[in-house]
A and B are shown apart, each in its own frame.
Chain A
Amino acid sequence: MIKKSKCLFCSLGCGVSFRTEGDKVVALDYDKADPINLGALCPRGHYNLELINHPGRLMEPQIGKRKVSWEEAVAFIRQELKLFNKEEIGCLVSCLLSNESALAAARMAQALGIKNILTAGAAADLEAYEGNKWQVSGANLATLETVEQSEALLIVGDLLSRSPVLAKRVNKVKYGKRGNKIIVIDPNQTHTTWFATNHLACKPGTEAVVLAALAGELPYTEAENISGVPSAKLQQAAEEFRVAAMGTVIYVPQSKKQRNDLGVYYAKKLAAASPNKGYLVYYLFGNTLGVNTIIDREAPDHPTYHELLAKIDRGEVKSLLMFGEDISAGHAELQKRFRMLKFVVFAGHFESESPAIYDNSIILPLATQFEGGGSYLLADGTIASCQPVAPKVGSETLTNICGFLAEGRLDDKVITDHSLINKTKNESDALAEVGKIEPAEGSTGKPITYFGNNHLVSNFFWYQVNKNG
């Protein structure tokens, strides 16, 4: 039997289908009818099979290294959380969770009075999300159909390492019609620049400056001074993009870029500057857009990640709830602060890689989207919903875990509003900031199995084969 679900490993939202025998998922299948990926899967998409069947998956809750029942674990957490003030508890929600999970976490925080709830994910993604909130009138989100029909694509960063499944669409633009343009802004020779008709090789980190110049917000000469791209080349690229009958700006947030927020802002400006243009932002973690929007809406005055770290330093936060993944495994700055925490709850799929977590913590097995289902918000603003394909073995969904922790005080609210949160931005401020960007030291590209700070993937076979290549 073939069961269909969705891949959460980037914000493209490919369909994955599995061959099942009874309850057991035995193999991947390639579903040619899926409108997003047409059966194609990238190497990371193949991890989904292992995510269900991996022998390292957590099956039972643990207190320290002792395996306990769910009842005991939940009673222990409730009893421990009562020892702390509400201000002393922090809650980190992973960007790989579904909309329902994020909403449950936010409602649990409201029920328990926790104010320090925030999202954790790739730093570049979160920065780009902040930029995405700035309102630009006339900038429209593009869809995959408009990418396919575009006559000019402007790609900022290494798109085809992030989401190789888009290669079919990029090829359609490249070989579809004579005169189609693919403009790539990237300091390195990458998988994406193979397809470029016009490669703007700027100095590392100055992509936002080039975008500002193309959008007509910064003089070409000034942009040349900062980014090192000749102004004649900038002018040519701007003209090519402007005259195209249909075009898309695709922005890929990456940590080696400086000021991803300004990059996204100017990508939106560029899309708004000429008719029939759209923009897309492809995040590294699947539901960055959805989780951030929900947490922003439910807890509008939540602290930032660095404010949380400062609070831990000052001893104001003594307990931490980590939902979705062990965030400390990828973030050394958080791992260092672990001995200042008195109590940690970690709900995840795999055993944690950081040794510190076993001293004072509770580990709860979390169901993936293939066991619990859920919906999430894609890069192009549409909502994808996953159906459960396998039974939950020992694990629980975050909705249930939050229900246990809040002692059943959650209301069953359903998310209806998926609109993005907007904030206005004083344009002269942004202009002043983009002029201050300085080129970084030379940076190298990342391998195709790269997954940011998320250590979840180190559990998978193909990651270990290809981590150096």
Chain B
Amino acid sequence: MAKRVYLNLDLCCGCKSCAAACAYGHHLQSLLGHSQLTAAELPLHCLHCDQPACAAACPNEAMKKMADATVLRSQYRCVGCRSCSVACPFGVIQPDLEKHITPKCDLCLDRLAEGDIPRCVATCTSGALSFAEVDEQVVDKNKNLISVRMLSNFVGRRR
């Protein structure tokens, strides 16, 4: 199972530094959405699904499932039609209406190539984000523990 970004909601303090780090790493365009609720400010990470609905909905093949199991968006093919943000079941693809693009997490490919972790995980102030292989058994075993209540234990699985 490939490594993914996991969020532990109990530790998150809502400081949005993951989104800031994303913006400063991607030409001032944050690829990471945040929930717009004042009661809960949590980052909405792309889950890089096994069967991505965004890629199925894309009319121009801009969203593609790569060989290393990440879902990437080609900025040259993207026409800004927002089909992917409608198709995404988790609402993590949020279109930028001013710039006419739909930014989408690329797991910081440049840093992964150097053997490093994504920027949002490196900068997380509370230790809520982790970049790990979490296999289903571990998640199920710890499901009832408050401190390992991962957002990911019900999403992004192979059917």
Contact of B126 among A27, A28, A164, A448 (CB under 8 A): A164
Are the CB atoms of A175 and B125 closer together than 8 Å? Answer: no
Q: Give Cα A69–Cα B16 distance, bound, in whole angstroms.
A: 42
Are the CB atoms of A194 and B13 closer together than 8 Å? Answer: yes
Chain B positions within 8 Å of A49 at CB level: 24
Contact of A465 with B122 at beta-carbon distance under 8 Å, contacts A46-B17, A191-B14 already known: no
Are the CB atoms of B125 and A167 closer together than 8 Å? Answer: yes
Contact of B123 among A41, A161, A465 (CB under 8 A): A41
> Is B21 in the interface zone, CB < 8 Å from A?
yes
Chain A positions within 8 Å of B124 at CB level: 40
Contact of A40 among B24, B30, B123, B147 (CB under 8 A): B123
Number of interface residues of A (CB under 8 A): 32
Chain A positions within 8 Å of B17 at CB level: 40-43, 45-46, 164
B14-50 vs A: 1/0 string, CB under 8 Å? 1111011101110010100000000000000000000
Q: Give Cα A311–Cα B20 distance, bound, in whole angstroms.
A: 43
Q: Give Cα A30–Cα B21 distance, bound, in whole angstroms.
A: 10
Are the CB atoms of A43 and B16 closer together than 8 Å? Answer: yes
Are the CB atoms of A462 and B23 closer together than 8 Å? Answer: yes
CB of A38, distance to nearest CB on chain B (Å): 9
Number of interface residues of B (CB under 8 A): 23
How many residue pairs link A and B with beta carbons under 8 A? The number is: 84
Interface residue ranges of A166-195 to B (CB < 8 Å):
166-168, 170-171, 175, 191, 194-195
Interface residue ranges of A132-171 to B (CB < 8 Å):
160-161, 164-168, 170-171
Are the CB atoms of B25 and A164 closer together than 8 Å? Answer: no
Q: Give Cα A465–Cα B32 distance, bound, in whole angstroms.
A: 13
Are the CB atoms of B127 and A168 closer together than 8 Å? Answer: yes
CB of B27, distance to nearest CB on chain A (Å): 10
Are the CB atoms of B123 and A195 closer together than 8 Å? Answer: no
Are the CB atoms of A41 and B21 closer together than 8 Å? Answer: yes
Contact of B122 among A39, A160, A461 (CB under 8 A): A39
CB of B41, distance to nearest CB on chain A (Å): 8
Chain A positions within 8 Å of B56 at CB level: none
Contact of A462 with B126 at beta-carbon distance under 8 Å, contacts A164-B15, A191-B13 already known: no
> Is B11 in the interface zone, CB < 8 Å from A?
yes
Main secondary structure of the interface of A (DSSP, over half): helix
> Is B82 in the interface zone, CB < 8 Å from A?
no
Chain B positions within 8 Å of A42 at CB level: 15, 17, 125
**Considering only CB atoms, which chain B residue lies closest to A447 in the complex?**
B16
CB of B120, distance to nearest CB on chain A (Å): 10
**Considering only CB atoms, which chain A residue lies closest to B28 in the complex?**
A461
Are the CB atoms of B123 and A30 closer together than 8 Å? Answer: yes
Q: Give Cα A375–Cα B77 distance, bound, in whole angstroms.
A: 50
Are the CB atoms of A46 and B126 closer together than 8 Å? Answer: no
Contact of A28 with B15 at beta-carbon distance under 8 Å, contacts A39-B122, A164-B126 already known: no
> Is A255 in the interface zone, CB < 8 Å from B?
no
Chain B positions within 8 Å of A194 at CB level: 13-14
> Is B119 in the interface zone, CB < 8 Å from A?
yes
Are the CB atoms of A195 and B16 closer together than 8 Å? Answer: no
> Is A382 in the interface zone, CB < 8 Å from B?
no
> Is A197 in the interface zone, CB < 8 Å from B?
no
**Considering only CB atoms, which chain B residue lies closest to A159 in the complex?**
B13
Q: Give Cα A195–Cα B147 distance, bound, in whole angstroms.
A: 13
Contact of B25 among A27, A32, A170, A448 (CB under 8 A): A27
Interface residue ranges of B1-21 to A (CB < 8 Å):
10-11, 13-17, 19-21
B99-114 vs A: 1/0 string, CB under 8 Å? 0000000000000000
A17-44 vs B: 1/0 string, CB under 8 Å? 0000000000110101000010111110
Chain A positions within 8 Å of B20 at CB level: 43, 46, 462, 466
Chain A positions within 8 Å of B28 at CB level: 461
Chain B positions within 8 Å of A462 at CB level: 20, 23-24
**Considering only CB atoms, which chain A residue lies closest to B10 in the complex?**
A175
Are the CB atoms of B13 and A46 closer together than 8 Å? Answer: no
Chain B positions within 8 Å of A461 at CB level: 23-24, 28
Q: Give Cα A42–Cα B127 distance, bound, in whole angstroms.
A: 12
Chain A positions within 8 Å of B21 at CB level: 28, 41, 46
Are the CB atoms of A466 and B16 closer together than 8 Å? Answer: yes
A-B pairs with beta carbons under 8 Å apart, 10 shown: A39-B123, A41-B123, A42-B15, A43-B15, A43-B20, A46-B21, A167-B127, A170-B126, A171-B126, A465-B23
A-B pairs with lowest CB-CB distance, top 10: A167-B126, A164-B15, A30-B122, A43-B20, A167-B13, A164-B125, A40-B125, A46-B20, A160-B13, A462-B20
**14 additional contacts (CB under 8 A) given A167-B11, A462-B24:** A30-B119, A30-B122, A39-B123, A41-B123, A46-B21, A46-B24, A49-B24, A160-B13, A164-B13, A167-B125, A167-B127, A171-B11, A175-B147, A194-B14
Residues of A within 8 A of B (CB): 27-28, 30, 32, 37, 39-43, 45-46, 49-50, 160-161, 164-168, 170-171, 175, 191, 194-195, 448, 461-462, 465-466
